[in-house]
Structures are given as structure tokens and as C-alpha cells.
Amino acid sequence: MVAAIDAGVSRFDSHWLDWGCPFAPCATGNVLTEDLVFKLEAMGLSIGIDIDRPTEVCKIVERELPDEPLHNASAAAGLPKGFAPAGLPV
């Protein structure tokens, strides 16, 4: 994704909660929306998504579907101490 941004790509596809892609099951390279939002914000790019909202959604799904395995790194780890979103539109 970072290399794609450096090459001028400005649109990305991602998926929620590591449920995978219905069009390419078991495909590698799919990026989680919550991890994508965090990475872009950490790079100083704001994409108009409140960075806390994807984590809140993950926590709701984890609570409501306790047997569903999720692999959402950003939601599991939380935001780093002192992290401030970029706040500037792309």
C-alpha cells in the first residue's frame, strides 16, 4: 500500500474484521480497513474516517459474535499512546 501511494494510487479496497474477500477466498494481501485507516493516519494522511470508529465496530462484533475468529491488529492493540490523527483531508 505504501509503495502504491508512492506510485500515485489514491484508491484502495479493504475489508472489515478479517472475514476475507468473498470474491477471492483465502487470497493473501487483503488489508483490514481498520489497519489501513491507522496506517494512512500514521503517515499523515486523513481519509475522512474517524479512526476510533472501526475499533468500536470491531469490539461490538467481538461481543456479539464471540465464536467468530477476528484478526484485527489495530483494534486488538489499540492506538499508540500519544497518537494523533492527521486531521487534514487528502
Residuewise pLDDT in 10s, the chain (90 residues):
889 989 999 888 887 766 656 666 666 667 778 888 888 888 888 888 888 787 788 788 888 988 877 766 666 777 788 887 776 554
Q: Is residue 2 part of a domain?
A: no
Q: Is residue 40 part of a domain?
A: yes
Range(s) of the domain holding residue 70: 15-20+28-90
Q: Is residue 43 part of a domain?
A: yes
Q: Is residue 89 part of a domain?
A: yes
The 3-class secondary structure across 57-81, one letter per residue, is: HHHHHHHHCCCCCCCCHHHHHCCCC
pLDDT for res 8? 93
- For residues 34 and 20, the answer to whether their CB atoms sit within 8 Å is no
pLDDT for res 90? 47
How many domains, in total, are found in the chain?
1
Q: Is residue 86 part of a domain?
A: yes
Grid cell locating 42: 500514521
Q: Is residue 74 part of a domain?
A: yes
Q: Is residue 63 part of a domain?
A: yes
